[in-house]
């Protein structure tokens, strides 16, 4: 038998369901047996899976956040760590001499902060830009996605004709799917995409599917085609192509619901058990001695009460099995599974550190922070940067930034769009150890003060810190107050080099011109002195 014939025989055996030849292996997870006969699977695309599940997933996720304490806590943990009190802007426009254009950067940042007020940046006039950021992150967690529409008009007393409208995902017609529209475009769950999967437009309902207005006056929603250039669609993509987002708790929903139901059942059982004190055992009376008006013997027990029983009666106490002593360990195990499904640590959701020591708690927090940093950068790329580019263009043409000319911007937009973003940082787990580690890392050249401030400064940058530091030192000097601090000495005059410690100050001793090695050493000493 030829080699090709042998291969065909083996393939035929596999197709016919016959056992493979001895020595042939297959993935254990793909094997069919009595243990996996209930494990049903199907080859479906991301959009096919989402289209059948999106509405119930979203509704159940919202219900859990409303009613289940751990679900609400998980959402708050994600929002507080990713967005915090808002992600700040630091303009980084450079001059032709490759230095920061401080005046231009200051004007851009000032105009941005003025526009970010509630009455200017929000169409509804109630949310400031940090509030919009928090709301967006909250909805991405709870509903899987959020849509932000950019309106090119002035609201309030804003100098920039741009404002943001928050559109919940229920208003995007996820039940609207058209095989072909507008030539080669298709509509997938309310999102019109081109053949490459790039969004072209969004089909938006004018009313929420569960809005109170809809129920009162019988109005029906109408669909409006909104160009994709006007929409910022925030959602995480797990597979491609994936048109819509799914709630982050999708893998933990059943466990969260089970935990909530189990906890309530245990509480009801404990309350019922606590209300039962005991029973009264009465002697069996002869049939002739029973009367129709004889009622049950009832005792109303109160704390510290002593009740006298009737002759022949006996009190039998009730020993309840609630609270369940195994409930704590069981709920802890369930919550660990929930935390794993959401992608955060058990400690961050439960705030329970009784099962961990310093090392394990620190490791858990550091692991979480890696997750938060990834999500922060995703949020910056998906929301902050495109919004800033749009805002800067509109603000420039509206002459809202005094130092940025229209012609200069139009010739090189990327120059003025240069910026860094300041997400929240985190306090140290052990300040003594970590501050010392940061100091040594800076001295060794392994990191910079800018990086350390960005990681720990709570959204501040080095310019903010140094400016405030300078002001504080000036105030302390004027008040005559001395604190334990180090003041950087003024720079050396031009052409002056610092001498080595212990070297003579006599100019005659410095007659020789130092070579390159000596010069490098002198510069190093000068820097250490500074």
Q: Where are the alpha helices (DSSP H) in 276-351?
A: 327-342, 346-350
User: Cβ(87)–Cβ(380) under 8 Å?
Assistant: yes
DSSP class of residue 460 equals -
pLDDT of residue 461: 72
Q: What is the pLDDT of residue 424?
A: 86
Asked if the bond preceding 323 is cis, omega within 30° of 0, the reply is yes
Yes or no: say if 282 and 313 are a contact pair by the CB < 8 Å rule.
Answer: yes
pLDDT at 320: 63
The closest of 148, 132, 124, 147 to 79, measured between CA atoms, is 132
The Cα–Cα gap between 335 and 337 comes to 5
Beta pairing partners, 149 = 165, 231
Measured in whole angstroms, how far is the alpha carbon of residue 288 from the centre of its chain? Answer: 76
pLDDT tens digit string along 62-78?
Answer: 999 999 889 999 999 99
Residue 241: partners with Cβ closer than 8 Å, 6 or more residues away: 45, 46, 47, 193, 197
Res 509: pLDDT: 39
- What's the rounded Cα separation, in Å, for the pair 507 and 80? 61
What dihedral do alpha carbons 64, 65, 68, 73 form, nearest 10°?
140
Q: Which residues of 373-389 are buried (b: 16+ CB within 10 A; e: fewer)?
A: bebbeebbebbbeebbe
Q: What DSSP string runs through 365-386?
A: HHHHHHHHHHHHHHHIIIIIHH
Q: Can you tell me the distance from the alpha carbon of 428 to that of 456, in angstroms, rounded to the nearest whole number? A: 8
What does the block give as tokens for 123?
């169409």
Which token pair is 50?
């989402």
Chain centroid, CA 121 distance in Å? 23
Give the span between the Cα atoms of 214 and 32, in whole angstroms.
Answer: 51
Q: Find where tokens 């030192």 sit.
A: 473
CA quadruple 489, 490, 493, 499: dihedral, nearest 10: 0
Structure token digits, residue 294:
């004889």
d(CA 54, CA 243): 11
Contact predicate 394/108, CB 8 Å: no
For residue 223, what are the β-bridge partners?
Answer: 205
- What the block records as the tokens of 201 is 């437009």
224: three-class secondary structure by DSSP: strand
**Which residues 6+ apart lie within 8 Å of 175 measured at CB?**
189, 190
Residues of the chain with pLDDT under 70: 1-2, 4, 6, 8-26, 214-220, 273-309, 315-322, 428-429, 457-460, 485-530
Token pair listed for 5: 């014939």
Mode of pairing for the β-strands spanning 178-181 and 185-188: antiparallel
DSSP state of 239: S
Query: What is the distance between the alpha carbons of residues 515 and 517, in angstroms, rounded to a whole number?
Result: 6
């Amino acid at each position: 038998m030829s080699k090709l014939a042998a291969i065909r025989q083996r393939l035929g055996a596999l197709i016919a369901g016959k056992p493979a030849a001895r020595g042939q292996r297959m993935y254990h997870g793909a094997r069919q047996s009595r243990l996996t006969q209930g494990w049903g699977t199907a080859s479906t695309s991301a959009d096919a899976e989402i289209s059948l599940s999106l509405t119930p997933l979203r509704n159940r996720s919202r219900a859990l956040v409303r009613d289940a304490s751990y679900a609400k806590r998980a959402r708050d943990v994600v929002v507080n760590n990713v967005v915090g009190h808002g992600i700040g802007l630091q303009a980084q426009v450079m001059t032709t001499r490759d230095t920061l254009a401080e005046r231009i950067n200051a004007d851009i940042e000032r105009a941005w902060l003025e526009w970010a007020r509630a009455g200017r940046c929000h169409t509804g006039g109630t949310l400031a830009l940090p509030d919009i950021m928090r709301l967006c992150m909250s909805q991405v967690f709870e509903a899987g996605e959020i849509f932000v529409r950019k309106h090119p008009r002035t609201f309030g007393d804003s100098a920039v004709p741009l404002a943001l409208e928050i559109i919940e995902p229920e208003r995007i017609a996820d039940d609207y799917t058209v095989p072909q529209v507008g030539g080669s475009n298709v509509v997938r769950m309310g999102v019109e995409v081109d053949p490459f999967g790039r969004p072209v437009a969004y089909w938006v309902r004018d009313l929420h599917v569960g809005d109170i207005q809809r129920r009162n006056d019988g109005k029906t929603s109408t669909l409006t085609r909104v160009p994709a250039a006007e929409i910022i669609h925030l959602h995480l993509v797990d597979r491609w192509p994936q048109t819509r987002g799914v709630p982050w708790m999708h893998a933990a929903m059943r466990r969260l619901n089970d935990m909530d139901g189990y906890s309530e059942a245990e509480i009801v059982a404990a309350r019922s058990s606590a209300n039962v004190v005991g029973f009264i055992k009465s002697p069996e009376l002869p049939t002739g001695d029973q009367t129709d008006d004889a009622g049950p013997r009832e005792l109303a027990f109160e704390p510290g009460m002593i009740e006298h029983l009737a002759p022949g009666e006996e009190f039998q106490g009730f020993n309840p099995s609630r609270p369940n002593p195994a409930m704590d360990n069981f709920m802890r195990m369930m919550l660990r599974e929930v935390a794993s499904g959401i992608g955060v640590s058990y400690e961050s959701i439960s705030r329970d550190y009784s099962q961990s020591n310093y090392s394990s708690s620190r490791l858990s927090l550091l692991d979480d922070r890696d997750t938060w940093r990834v999500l922060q950068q995703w949020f910056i790329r998906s929301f902050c940067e495109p919004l800033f580019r749009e805002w800067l263009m509109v603000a420039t043409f509206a002459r809202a930034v005094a130092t940025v000319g229209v012609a200069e911007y139009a010739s090189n937009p990327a120059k003025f769009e240069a910026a860094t973003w300041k997400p929240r940082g985190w306090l140290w787990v052990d300040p003594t150890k970590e501050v010392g580690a940061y100091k040594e890392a800076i001295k060794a050249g392994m990191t910079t003060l800018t990086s350390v401030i960005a990681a720990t400064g709570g959204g501040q940058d080095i310019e903010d810190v140094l400016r405030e530091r300078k002001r504080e030192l000036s105030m302390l000097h004027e008040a005559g107050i001395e604190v334990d601090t180090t003041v950087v000495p003024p720079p050396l005059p031009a052409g002056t080099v610092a001498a080595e410690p212990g070297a003579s100050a006599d100019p005659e001793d410095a007659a020789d011109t130092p070579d390159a090695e000596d010069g490098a050493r002198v510069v190093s000493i000068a820097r250490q002195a500074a």
